Structures are given as C-alpha cells and as structure tokens.
Amino acid sequence: MTMKAVAILSKPSKPELSEIIPPLAEWLAQREYSVIFDQQTAMYVDGSRGVERAKLAAMQPEFAIVLGGDGTLLSASRALAPADIPILAVNLGSLGFLTEVPLEDMYSTLEKVIACHCPVDARTMLACDMIRDGEILHSYSALNDVVANKSAIARLVGFDLSIDGRFVFGYKADGVIVATPTGSTAYSLAAGGPVVMPTVGAFQVTPVCPHSLTHRPVVVPETSTISITIRSSGEAAFLTIDGQVGQPLKDGDQIVCRKAAHAVHLLQTSQSFFQVLRDKLKWGERE
C-alpha cells in the first residue's frame, strides 16, 4: 500500500519553526502520511533531505502545508498550482491576508482537511509573457500581481495599455499593476485600486502615481488579454512577479497578461472574505 504524502514548506530563518516542524511531522506520520520537506524546512528535522520547491509538484503530495506569511504562500503557489495541489496556509507572519489559519488552529484544521471537511477556495492566477522584438523571453505565473515600474532613479516611465488588442491609453507613471482579485488587497490597494472579492472574474489595471490624475484603475473581465508596452526613452524599468521575481525591461518591451490555465487551491477556514477584511484591515463592526 502506497503511503499518502504531504509537503511542508516554510519561510526561511524563522526560529520558531524548530519547535513547530518536528512535532508536525510526527503528527502526520502517526496518521500514515509520508512527509516531503522543501529545502528551507528540512533543516529543522534531523536526517531529512529537502527537495527544491520547483520539484515538489512532481512528487504528487495529497496536499501541502505552508508555514509563513503571504510571501511564502505566493512562492509556494507558483510551484504547486500547475499540479492542482491544495495548500493549507498557516500564518507565521504579521498581516496574512492569504495565510489566514492561525498557528493555534493548525492541528484542528488539519483534522478537517484529512476528514475532507475543509472547503477549498480556487484562486485565479495570471499568466504573463515578457516579449522583446517579437520573441517571448520569459513566462511567469502570478497569484497576486504583475508589476512594471521604474528603477531606483526618480523618473517617470511611459506605458501604453491595450486590452484585447485595442489601445486604451498611454501615460507616464511610476509604474502599472495588473492584479488578480486575490492581489486586489496587495500593492494595487495601496496604489488606490479597488477591493475585489476573490470569486469575481476580473483583473484590475492600476497606475502607480500617474502624471495625470485622470488616469484611474480599470477593471476588465478575466477573459481579457492585457498588453503593456514600455516607453522608457532610455530610463530603466523592471518587471516584478508577486513582488518576488522579475527581469529588467527595455524600451519597446511588451508585457502580455491573461488568465492562467491553472488556479491556486487554498484549503480554507469558515471565515468569510469580509471577516478577513475586518480582521486584517481593522474595518469596524456594525454600530
């Protein structure tokens, strides 16, 4: 009989993990699960060897446990989503919009996961191609957002925006954000974009500090193809995926975004999206 497998991924250099990981691995073993660790997590378990995150999906775990903050979950999502591996995100960070399960509820939530009593929330991802001279140089997927912005030099960069091949407008700004509904509460929110429920089939295009105040965020259907052409006039610009990976951009480069073929499957608690907003953004209760 083949044992079921669970992957455990964690945030690097979290001292408390030395007290969390070993008993968690033992708890799972008692329930007849083999445990696969990423390289950041294996160091906390004697005699364990870690696996590169990019190779975890090929090992086909039944689900994955991510211990950390939203940044850890974003990295794990890009690695695991193509294989439709559900993720239980346990919050060891500060804000934790996505890692909503508190550490004290980890084991009780795991009991629900094992009993198949834990709801699964599918989150849309973005697929992004970076194109130069008609050639795709890099392809990425993003759970939160795709961002093109200026480098450290305090000069504006030009952007031409097209939706489904139709020119929308050109403008100069510090940057432009293409966000999923999940990413609407991240950088896009800080730049003045709307809060969008995760179930809404839409993407947001949010300018960052545009030179003209008439350029506002645009919400488009998730079936749209969003194209951004860089008009840098020699100024340095940069493409960033989920705030974690990216590439320098040159004048004339294109960033083409569309709905990804796969989604992130998050194992959720019973909290509503608006309860999370009240908890994380400190929105007031009814008077």
Q: Which residues are part of the catalytic machinery? A: 70
Amino acid type, 58: A
**Do 177 and 146 contact (CB within 8 A), yes or no?**
yes
Tokens 């999906």 sit on residue: 57
**Structure-token match 């008077």, residue found:** 287
Centre a 10 Å sphere on the Cβ of residue 216 and count the other Cβ atoms it contains: 12
- Cα 21 to chain centroid distance, Å, stands at 23
- How would you list the strands of the sheet with 145-150, edge to edge? 218-221, 202-208, 175-179, 145-150, 237-241, 245-249
Contact 81, 66 (CB under 8 A): no
Distance CA 251, CA 175 (A): 14
